[in-house]
Amino acid sequence: MRTTRGWVSHGTTELRRAELRRRELRADDVAVRIDYCGVCHSDLHAVHAHDPDSSVPLVPGHEFTGTVTEVGRDVRNLAVGDAVAVGNIVDACLACDMCRAGQENFCRAFPTLTYGGVDRRDGTPTSGAFAREYVVREGFAYRLPRGLDPAAAAPLMCAGVTVWEPLRALGVGPGTRIAVIGLGGLGHLAVKLAVALGAETTVVSRSADKADDARRLGAQHLIVSTDEAAMTGARGQFDVVLDTIAVAHDLAPYLALLALDGELSLLGYLGQVSVETTDLLIGRKKLSSGGSGGRTRTAELLEFCAERGVVADIELLPSSRAGESLERLARGDVRYRFVLDMSDLDAGPAPVVPVRG
């Protein structure tokens, strides 16, 4: 076992600095010094759901960039010193139909999650990237293209690929009229990517004060969702609606925005929703969802972002302020993604209490 320093959840948003264990490198592993890790809504859900008395510590964090510091003996595609990015999936069976289709995120045997999962080879719990080091199977560490700012690129690995997959699956490009519902971590990247793909892009937001931001991100139009006349006027105007709202909400007003054969992709909310089927029937509309990304699309996203200069709008904080970032994320007080700088974990004495994980 090797050790590193990181941040362990101690009930809701309190995080404590601790010594963490990482596995010794297997033949196909690389060790990554984590430089930057984004703060995702999933982290917030995880810390709220975690029992602080659990014997399995929770270390959040699943969208990070860093530098390879060591490679296993069979590693061929990465070398010490390479800049890499890792997302919320660190392994999969690689044999099922989903994996063979490049959709390891939908692996039939369930992908291994970066934290809160179980390593598929040794059965140990995985712990996340609010830490200085991560050990990962080579095939799930992506080369970070030159020219991408490593801090602002970190959110591409969860928020980014979560919106990129449906954008690509739905063929969004020149001529597509797309509405992005919700301008948060996912939404702002969806806008930037849709614009970069050449689509006519509209932001639908509760607040008119996001109008300037919407324009700055490249959107051509903004609709304020509480403006009934504007919502009525926009009915039937969109080929694709990407819904990134992170809480339960009525889908009917957003399905109404779709044109004939249009599709609403629900990305921000994972719970149960109820839909009036006539809202789909009239116009032969489609309702779909997605989450995270397979390896093919993830690598493609990084290349596309490097070519087009797309990264997240971030607020960079030292990792010691991770708890504050979670609190502010819960209040929606971020434009548009927190990223933690892990270098402060190098300073100070080693934590006294070792934590398994």
Q: Which is nearer to Zn ion, 93 or 270 (CB)?
A: 93
CB of residue 62 to Zn ion, shortest distance in Å: 5
Q: Using CB under 5 A, which residues numbered 65 to 94 contact Zn ion?
A: 92-93
Of the candidates 7, 302, 311, the one whose C-alpha atom is nearest the C-alpha of residue 129 is: 7
Measured distance CA(106)–CA(295) in Å, rounded = 11
Q: Which is nearer to Zn ion, 93 or 306 (CB)?
A: 93
Measured distance CA(182)–CA(203) in Å, rounded = 7
Q: Which is nearer to Zn ion, 71 or 86 (CB)?
A: 86
Of the residues 56, 82, 96, 299, which one makes contact with Zn ion according to CB under 5 A: 96
Q: What angle do CA 291, 296, 300 make, to 5 degrees?
A: 95
Measured distance CA(274)–CA(24) in Å, rounded = 47
Name residues whose C-beta falls within 8 Å of residue 37's C-beta, 6 or more positions apart in sequence.
61, 63, 64, 128, 129, 130, 154, 319, 339, 340, 342
Name residues whose C-beta falls within 8 Å of residue 63's C-beta, 6 or more positions apart in sequence.
37, 38, 40, 86, 87, 88, 129, 154, 155, 156, 157, 158, 159
Q: Which is nearer to Zn ion, 158 or 345 (CB)?
A: 158
Q: Which is nearer to Zn ion, 223 or 301 (CB)?
A: 301
Q: Give me the DSSP letters along 309-343.
A: T----EEEEEGGGHHHHHHHHHTT--SSEEEEEGG
Q: Which is nearer to Zn ion, 184 or 262 (CB)?
A: 184
Longest distance between any two alpha carbons in the chain, whole Å: 64
302 binds Zn ion (CB under 5 A): no
Stretch that binds Zn ion, among 36-44, 70-78, 199-207, 332-340 (CB under 5 A): 36-44
Residues 237/259, Cβ–Cβ less than 8 Å: yes
Phi, psi for residue 14 in degrees, rounded to 5: -80, 130
42 binds Zn ion (CB under 5 A): yes
Q: Which is nearer to Zn ion, 283 or 291 (CB)?
A: 291
Measured distance CA(251)–CA(100) in Å, rounded = 33
129 binds Zn ion (CB under 5 A): no
40 binds Zn ion (CB under 5 A): yes
CB of residue 174 to Zn ion, shortest distance in Å: 30
Of the residues 58, 99, 141, 154, which one makes contact with Zn ion according to CB under 5 A: 99
Number of residues that bind Zn ion (CB under 5 A): 8
Measured distance CA(110)–CA(94) in Å, rounded = 11
Q: Which is nearer to Zn ion, 99 or 222 (CB)?
A: 99
CB of residue 92 to Zn ion, shortest distance in Å: 5
Q: Which is nearer to Zn ion, 91 or 213 (CB)?
A: 91
CB of residue 260 to Zn ion, shortest distance in Å: 34
CB of residue 122 to Zn ion, shortest distance in Å: 18
Mask: binding to Zn ion, 148-187, rule CB under 5 A, as x and -? Answer: ----------x-----------------------------
258-266/354-355 β-pairing: unpaired
44 binds Zn ion (CB under 5 A): no
CB of residue 328 to Zn ion, shortest distance in Å: 16
| Encoded tokens for 257 | 């925005």
Measured distance CA(343)–CA(341) in Å, rounded = 6
Question: Which residues make up the interface to Zn ion (CB under 5 A)?
Answer: 40, 42, 92-93, 96, 99, 107, 158
